[in-house]
Structures are given as structure tokens and as C-alpha cells.
Structure 1
Amino acid sequence: MSPATTSSLLRLFFLTLSLHINFSTAVNSIGVSRRTLAVAADTVPFPKKVATFLPSDISPPTEKYWYSRLPNTPLPKALEYLLQPGHYPSINTEFANENVSAASQKTYKQAYRSAKHEKAIKSSLPESTIFYLYNDIHPGKRMRIRFTNSGTKVSFLPRQVAESIPFSSDKIPEILKYFALEVNSKEARVIRDEIGGCEDPNIEGEEKFCATSLESLIDFSVERLGRNVRVLSTDAGKKQEYTVSARARMIGDDKAAVCHKMRYPYAVHYCHVIADTEVYEVPLVGADGAKVKAVTVCHLNTSAWSPDHMAFQVLKIKPGPAVCHFLDSDTLIWVPAKY
């Protein structure tokens, strides 16, 4: 072995050793800020509760697990940025901002029950199309749309860490203490609301699950749809008038699973499979010429929805007819690959 080769190997050894020491030191430098933490892996601060985890146990989730379970399914845009090193980990205790998409955050839990947050939904999306009728999906149809997201800039925690944190209504005091949140804070109210939605009884024909990690998100969908699937999300687009530019293409039915990103200190997704639904990809062109491929879900039978639901008030109809709505840009839709 030449001296140059030996020198290179030694430099590589000490560089690796230095990175290991820095990472180990970071793991023991504990404390969660009340601001968003989204830093490189070698400077990751963790809550005290996970200080005992070894570095190998708290490695960030990556696309490796995705492709081990879904080898033929491209990673959707809505998940790509969550798995980039610069976004891990991201714990945010200021996730209760009222400026987020109230429609997306509430309709997926309240759509079939009462319009508990009707006023918030209306005020957050003035003059925007939230719900529309099934027959409105045709070329030439114009709608004023605001493509939003959950507004929660957080990423996945490792499965082992996520599963060590309580996630149930009877553990709310422990959860608030864990994230150093005041009992009467707006963040505490959001946590109660989100967990409560996960624990609400299923409506007829619905199966739901709240995934607290990337791995559990994937497992839920694979168990119900298998590995031969497509995972889509709506393109981001600014609020303006859009025109349906071509015929909508059906991409899924009641076997589809929809996963909405929730407002929570770390990435949690509310996933559900609902009977009597159809999923379409709708090509849109904005007033400024921007093209958007929007994913929309149509509920073919709304007879089980609460009579005072906002959709019926907006559309001036009674429960029963098919009602559709677009999905947010960080909502995932899982459909069989046959479409």
C-alpha cells in the first residue's frame, strides 16, 4: 500500500470518527425548542424522553423503507421534502396557526358529521370553491380555487421514537407535558381535537387510521391496497380562477385510501378508506396560464352526512347527492395501479 493511499485512509478514518463523536454529542444535548427544529442530523436536539436511544435507533426515516415495501411506486412529491436531511427532525409546538387550510383540516373529520368549524372554514377560504357537485367536473367549468396545505411544517419522527410518545385522549396531560404546552393553549386545543377525530367512531363504510410515522403510514395502505399502487397528490397552485381544460380522468374508487397531514408537533397523517367514492385527476389551467393537475374525491352518497354540514349549505342541497372536493397539496391519495 502506498503512503498516499495510507494517508487517505487515515484521513477518512478520523473524519468518520469525528462525525460519530459530533453526532453522539448532539444526541445527548437534549431540549425541544418552542420553535421549529429542522436541522442537520449531527446537531439534532431531542426531547429528554428519547435521550437513551442509541444513534442507530434514532436514524431518520428515509425512502429506504418506502422502496422496500413499494419497490415499483415512485415517492410522491408530498413526501419527498419530509425525507430530506435538512428537514429532519422537525418538532414544532406552534402548529395551531389559524391561517392554515381550515377546510382541509376539518372537512376530512367533520364531512360526515357536524360542521363544527363551519365559520372558520368560511372565513379562511372566502370566495373559493370548497365543495362542488359531481356533474361540475367537465371541460370549460370555471372555479375559484385556493390550493392549500396543512400549514404544518413538520416531518416524520423515527418509528421507535413516535411509538414511545402517547397518542390518545386519556394521555393528553402527558402529551402536553412532553411538548411543554400549556393546558389552556390553542396548541393544546388542537391536539385534543386532532386526537379526538382519530378516536371518533367510524361512519358506515369507513375505515380509518392515524399514522404517527412513515412506516405505519405505508403499512396501513399496503395492508389494504397491496403493493401494486400509485400514490398521488395535488400540484401546488396559487389562489385564482381555474378552468377545467380537459376531461377528468378517473384514477380510483372506494378502494382508495386518503391520508391527510394533521396539525401536530410532528408528522401524523389521518388516513381513511371510504365506501362509495371515486377519485379523479382534473387538469386545470389558471387565469395566469399556470397548469395544475388536481386530485379530487367525489363522495357518491352523502345521505349519512350531518344535515347541517357546510357542503349542503354552500351547494344549497339536502343530504344524498354526490359531492366532490379537491385535495390539499400535502394530502396523499393511494389508488390501485390498474387505473
Structure 2
Amino acid sequence: MEFKLLGIMAVMAVAVSVSGAALPPEKYWNLKLPNIQMPQAIREILHSDLLEDKITSVAVGGGGVGVVGNPGRRTSAGARKGGAPITAPSRRKSFLIGVIPIFSPFLYFYAASQTQLHHDPNVALFFLEKDLVKGKTMSLHFTKSANLAAFLPRQDAASIPFSSKSLPGVMDYFSVKPGSVEAKVMEKTVKECEVPGVKGEDKYCATSLESMVDYAESKLGRNLKAVSTEIQKETLKQKYTIEKDAKSVGGKAGDVVCHKLYYPYAVFYCHKVGGSRALLVSLKGEDSSEVKAVAVCHDDTSQWNPKHLAFQVLGVKPGSVPICHFLPQDHIVWYGN
């Protein structure tokens, strides 16, 4: 009986690995990670209304995107028959929803702009490791994510070309005008995914929840766990106190951190960097609001851009001291046992 049960489980595992792409993201999570709580950052974008209304069949190929079965939309001039079928909404809201994002300070090859230094709320999230002690007070600004782009099922996301070469057709399908702010943001996102990582960084851009889970598993093993920063409510910048000693997460394999990028559907820049450590930090604000924050500390920053935001904010040089930062709400840390 035991051997028969093991055989059935093996067949089920093979079936999941072969056909998992066709499963809804939630079911894929439950099959791959049945005993792991889904982080808030993932739960909130599984059913975003950013991608809405009726689903239409689309064919992608020849550098363009053509719509099939929806006479109300024009077909891209670059489309051709025989493209890979995908499903996507016939109408959508702007994926920027009133926000003009700037370069992510959590990608280490970027130099910070003056705009970022003075207006980016993420500036306050960088600190030195020596400050991560119980009772320490920091001025921080935690906000709920304005980036509500939803996950597409893997088979749909995989059918949409994700490259600089294919962008004109993809923009046409998502009704993004060339030269618009949205178009520039899409170009930036794809560029961030295509540019080589810094030395010692293993990077991958996940265009679906399934592909993100699979990447984390390939780097950390099967016993995965995931955490994200959780806030009770949005507040203005205020003083937060560390309520208890930070708790380290992750095993010998380290961790994988995934940062959400701006795109019409959910795309995460995931990377594994040597010499980094993830920690859970309990914070309490002046207004008594509580934040369960995820922090990442980097022991070696010698390969970062010398003009990176962290160095300019903290007044230190690359590779001189460990640098830490809290993660915004829509970033995820994966770790193994």
C-alpha cells in the first residue's frame, strides 16, 4: 500500500511539472507550496482589477501583436498568422495609475538622479547595519504599493514577447502610445531585465508567479518560504522604533529577492546576490501603527554603481561597510530551510 501511494504521488508530481503552466497561479502555489502562507505582496495582485473585463484571444508573432476574435480592436501591422495564442483583457486601466516611477534603488547598477535624492520615498529605507538594534528609532515612510499590475497565468505571459525588439507590438496591444510616459516605463523595465547583472549577481525577470516560484526553487531548493513587508495602513513619514531584535531568515543557500517592476502585467526582477542576508524587523510608528518589515543587508557593495542612492544617502563608499535597506510592500524575499 505504501509503495502504491508513493507511486501515485510521483505521477502527480510529474503531472504538475508538465502541466503546471496551465493551472491558475493560486492552484500552482498550493500544489508547489502547500504548507506555505502566501505573502501579502502576492495575494494583493492575484486578482487586481488592473486587468479586467472580457478575455480575448490574441496571436503574437512577427514582432507584432494581432487580435483574433475581437472586431472592435485593430490588428497590429507587424502581426502575422500562426503566432502563439495568449489571453489578455480587451480593456485595461493605466498600469501607472497616476504614478511616475523612477529607477529602482534596489537595482545596484543604477546611479541615483537628483530627483530621486529629493523626492523618492525609498530614500529613507537605506541604513547601516549598526543601526539595526532594538530600541533604535528611524524616520521612515512605508506606503501601500501603487503598482497593482496583476499576474497573468504563465502560459499567457510566456506567449507575450518580452524583449526590446518586440516592444512596439506589445505596446500596440496594450494601447500604449509610443513616446508616452507608459511607453518609456515599459522600455525601462525591459532594459533592466536585459542588462547584465553586477558581478556575483544571478538575475532573472519573472513574468508570472509560476516562473518566479520555479526560479526561487532552482536557486534555493524545494523547501521554499517567502515573506514580504506588511503594513497596517499608509502613513506620512514618521519615526518608527525597532521593537525587538531582528530575526534572520534563510538557510545556507542564502535568499532570492524579487522586486516588482512597472509593466502592464506583473513582472518581478529576481536576483540572488552573494553576501546578502534577509531579516524580519518589527517596527512601531509614532501613531502606534505596526509594520512587519523585511530588511536585506549586503556585506559586499564593491560592485555597486559608485553613485548608487545608498552611498549618496549614507555618505559611505562602495565596499566600505555593510549596507541594509527595508523592502517596500511589493517586494518578496524567498528563502529555504
TM-score with structure 2 length normalisation? 0.75
Paired residue type of 2:35: N
Match of residue 307 from structure 2: 308
1:3-152 superposed matches below 5 A? 61-84=24-47, 89=52, 92=92, 94-96=94-96, 99=99, 102=102, 106-109=104-107, 111=108, 113-120=109-116, 122-125=118-121, 129-152=124-147
CA distance in 2, matches of 1:99, 1:252: 33
Match of residue 265 from structure 2: 266
Give the CA deviation at 1:301. Answer: 0.9
Give the CA deviation at 1:93. Answer: 5.4
Aligned to 2:105, what secondary structure does the other structure show? helix
Give the CA deviation at 1:148. Answer: 3.1
Give the CA deviation at 1:262. Answer: 1.2
Match of residue 336 from structure 1: 336
Aligned to 1:270, what secondary structure does the other structure show? strand
CA distance in 2, matches of 1:163, 1:183: 23
After superposition, the Cα gap between the structure-2 partners of 1:85 and 1:248, relative to the gap in structure 1 and judged at 3 Å, is closer
CA distance in 1, matches of 2:144, 2:41: 10
Deviation larger for 148-157 or 283-292: 148-157
| Larger strand fraction of residues | 2
Aligned to 2:183, what secondary structure does the other structure show? helix
Paired residue type of 1:301: D
Deviations 1:180-220 (A, max 9, x none): 21111010100010110001112111111111112111111
CA distance in 1, matches of 2:114, 2:127: 16
Aligned to 1:173, what secondary structure does the other structure show? helix
Paired residue type of 2:228: S
CA distance in 1, matches of 2:51, 2:97: 21
| Larger helix fraction of residues | 1
Give the CA deviation at 1:72. Answer: 2.4
TM-score with structure 1 length normalisation? 0.74
CA distance in 1, matches of 2:48, 2:114: 38
Decide whether the 8 Å contact of 1:132 with 1:324 is kept in 2.
yes
Match of residue 210 from structure 1: 205
Give the CA deviation at 1:94. Answer: 2.1
Aligned to 1:75, what secondary structure does the other structure show? coil
After superposition, the Cα gap between the structure-2 partners of 1:188 and 1:247, relative to the gap in structure 1 and judged at 3 Å, is same
1:267-306 superposed matches below 5 A? 267-306=266-305
Aligned to 1:72, what secondary structure does the other structure show? coil
CA distance in 1, matches of 2:312, 2:48: 45
Paired residue type of 2:281: V
Give the CA deviation at 1:327. Answer: 0.5
Q: Larger Cα Rg: Structure 1 or Structure 2?
A: 1
CA distance in 2, matches of 1:101, 1:87: 17
After superposition, the Cα gap between the structure-2 partners of 1:195 and 1:101, relative to the gap in structure 1 and judged at 3 Å, is closer
Residue 245 (structure 2) pairs with residue 247 (structure 1): yes
Structure 1 gaps of 5+ residues are: 1-56
Aligned to 1:170, what secondary structure does the other structure show? coil
Paired residue type of 1:220: Y
Paired residue type of 1:284: L
Aligned to 1:64, what secondary structure does the other structure show? helix
Structure 2 gaps of 5+ residues are: 1-19, 54-88
Q: Give the alignment's Cα RMSD to 1 decimal.
A: 2.6
CA distance in 2, matches of 1:308, 1:278: 23
Give the CA deviation at 1:308. Answer: 1.6
Give the CA deviation at 1:121. Answer: 5.0
After superposition, the Cα gap between the structure-2 partners of 1:268 and 1:251, relative to the gap in structure 1 and judged at 3 Å, is same
Residue 162 (structure 2) pairs with residue 199 (structure 1): no
Which segments of structure 1 move beyond 4 Å, counting only runs of 4 or more? Answer: 57-60, 84-93
Give the CA deviation at 1:152. Answer: 1.6
Decide whether the 8 Å contact of 2:45 with 2:148 is kept in 1.
no
CA distance in 2, matches of 1:79, 1:286: 25
Residue 225 (structure 2) pairs with residue 230 (structure 1): yes
Paired residue type of 2:324: C
After superposition, the Cα gap between the structure-2 partners of 1:266 and 1:86, relative to the gap in structure 1 and judged at 3 Å, is closer
CA distance in 2, matches of 1:88, 1:176: 15
What is the aligned residue count? 276
CA distance in 2, matches of 1:144, 1:101: 22
After superposition, the Cα gap between the structure-2 partners of 1:58 and 1:72, relative to the gap in structure 1 and judged at 3 Å, is closer
